[in-house]
Chains A and B, each alone.
Chain A
């Protein structure tokens, strides 16, 4: 029974090859759109998240600002000044901190031989490396001895390194920062990063001990500091602790919302991941509409088919076909077209995705990331395909099954 059914289905479809092909192409194109849009949406999201992670995961950035509430006789608008010593002392007073680093930031003239650039110089301490993912690929990062002796050493970003040295090895050479010689002790490992604050991306920065930065340039107050809580789930509580501690130390209202500007990357990550999920769903929706158009094509062609075969339906009903049997016949044809078209669409998308992988990861392709046909995408597409297929197949099949045999035989 089932074998005969499939055989008849295939024969029906082959009888009008041009029409079957056209109907099929709508479904192929629709599936292609759904798969590619969802896959690329997913991959762009992942690539963006990865670049965001490049700045550091689970860290909190604090930017001292101005008071916006009066406090103990002071009017509002008092600048909040934080010294690096205060920052490094925070873990003694506030529990739950893992790493912390103050940060001085300045724009300085950096030169080596004839090469000269105005780039960002960051005065930091050793824990900065882990928090901000500024790992040394060659040599090392700033270490405690450098801090202690205010050494004139630096680690430089990978792009700055190649700008200054071309293909030469930078470690062990001396560069000038505002005409002061600095020994290059390390070159940063290249990383994907698009989030940033105060200055250039890390790839173009020079990192020096904040102790050196402070004594050399006379800077007293940090432009910001960074910390990482031991338990990521306690970020909010730890941040509150830091705020309260500094409020007491410096003298501002702990309830002042703006005295310290806080950027909690965990919180931010949650928000952008919601955004990217919405973005991917939106693309999926657009793809689904394309597939819906393909489904409408199937439904309307099947209507024509049902119309043309009214007599055949009449004959079948006359010799004892049940309504369900007729329903399945036409429904089966629609579903076959949908599934076959879907399979081709999947194949084409897989080919395109493969082609994208073959491209070098640069510029646009870096933005796209590496799209993969993950099981979730496949499941989502199959679900969309089936939903549309069932609806597109059911409408004409129902009308076929409700044919009146006497009327049909008169045609």
Chain B
């Protein structure tokens, strides 16, 4: 489903260059639940952004469902982000002036779904994350855990097969983190492919497989 071949990402800052990714190759199959771990600055977020089609690699090839992503235009990538990939950020990235409802609705607006469909789906998602009664609240009136549940609901709006989460529990207390993990587990069991960045071994242990990054490279798997 996701296949990376020798992905590199080089940042140029003036005369200096920084290799955030130095040839990352990996395969993630449909329905897998993967954790990505590694020290700070090892390139985890950079990798997630490339997989999530938010960013483009400097080199290497990325096949999504067998299609080379490098050939897509900005708007085609936007369509991929909109329908195929749900993205959850460490810092939620909700629109501050919009209500919980409107935040969840956003990806469906960009997909041109009609009012009735949007209403049905937002209702369904709000109930699934247990925040239906909070639908008219703005992010600033919600707790971190609640905000992340709204963000998670938003990432699912167009029912994408892939869910990417970059340290989804990083800013949360353990109880809220647990709630998020419960939802992720449920989504995985429903058949979604999930890739999650975490620093927490306990959380990583819930996934099927852990990919370790170090200094922009994948650390070979030690068979336990």
- Residues of A with Cβ closer than 8 Å to B? 1, 4, 11, 15, 311-312, 314-325, 405-406, 409
Contacts and interface: CB of A to CB of B under 8 A. Distances in A.
Contact of A319 (B74, B75, B97, B110): B110
Contact of B81 (A15, A318, A324, A406): A318
B7 to A, nearest CB: 15
Q: Which 10 residue pairs of A and B lie closest in terms of their CB atoms, listed nearest first? A: A320-B82, A322-B75, A319-B107, A320-B81, A320-B110, A321-B110, A322-B78, A315-B93, A320-B78, A406-B55
Contacts of A325: 110
21 contacts: A4-B105, A11-B97, A312-B96, A315-B106, A316-B95, A316-B106, A316-B110, A318-B54, A318-B81, A318-B87, A318-B93, A319-B154, A319-B155, A319-B157, A320-B83, A320-B107, A320-B158, A322-B75, A322-B110, A405-B54, A406-B54
Nearest to B92: A315
A112 to B, nearest CB: 83
B78 A317 contact: yes
| Interface hub of B78, B82, B89, B154 (most chain A Cβ within 10 A) | B78
A319 B106 contact: yes
Instruction: Tell me the dominant secondary structure on chain A's binding face.
Output: helix
B172 to A, nearest CB: 19
A275 B211 CA distance: 81
A20 to B, nearest CB: 15
A387 to B, nearest CB: 28
A16 to B, nearest CB: 11
Classify chain B's interface size: 20 to 34
B12 to A, nearest CB: 14
B82 A319 contact: yes
Contact of B75 (A312, A323, A405): A323
Contacts, number: 59
Given A4-B109, A320-B83, A320-B110, A315 B95 contact: yes
B109 A324 contact: no
A324 B79 CA distance: 12
B104 to A, nearest CB: 10
Contacts of A322: 74-75, 78-79, 110
Contacts of B96: 312
B111 interface: yes
Contacts of B55: 406
A152 B77 CA distance: 99
A15 B97 contact: yes
B25 interface: no
Interface of B: 49, 54-55, 74-75, 78-79, 81-83, 87, 89, 93-97, 105-107, 109-112, 154-155, 157-158
Contacts of A4: 105, 109
Given A319-B87, A319-B107, A312 B95 contact: yes
Given A314-B93, A319-B110, 10 more contacts: A4-B109, A315-B106, A319-B82, A319-B107, A320-B78, A320-B81, A320-B110, A321-B78, A323-B78, A406-B55
A410 to B, nearest CB: 10
| Interface hub of A15, A315, A316, A325 (most chain B Cβ within 10 A) | A315
Nearest to B79: A320
Nearest to A312: B95
Nearest to B106: A319
A324 B78 CA distance: 11
B136 to A, nearest CB: 14
Nearest to A409: B93
A315 B97 contact: no
A6 to B, nearest CB: 13
Contacts of A321: 78, 82, 110
Contacts of B87: 318-319
Given A15-B97, A405-B54, A409-B89, A320 B111 contact: yes
A311 B96 CA distance: 10
Contacts of A315: 93-95, 106
Contact of B49 (A15, A311, A320, A406): A406
A190 B111 CA distance: 72
Contacts of B94: 315
B221 to A, nearest CB: 29
A322 B89 CA distance: 20
A320 B93 CA distance: 14
Nearest to B96: A312
B115 to A, nearest CB: 8
Contacts of A320: 78-79, 81-83, 107, 110-111, 158
A15 B78 CA distance: 28
A4 B105 CA distance: 11
A324 B75 CA distance: 9
A264 to B, nearest CB: 65
A406 B55 CA distance: 7
A4 B106 CA distance: 10
Contacts of A405: 54
Contacts of B111: 320
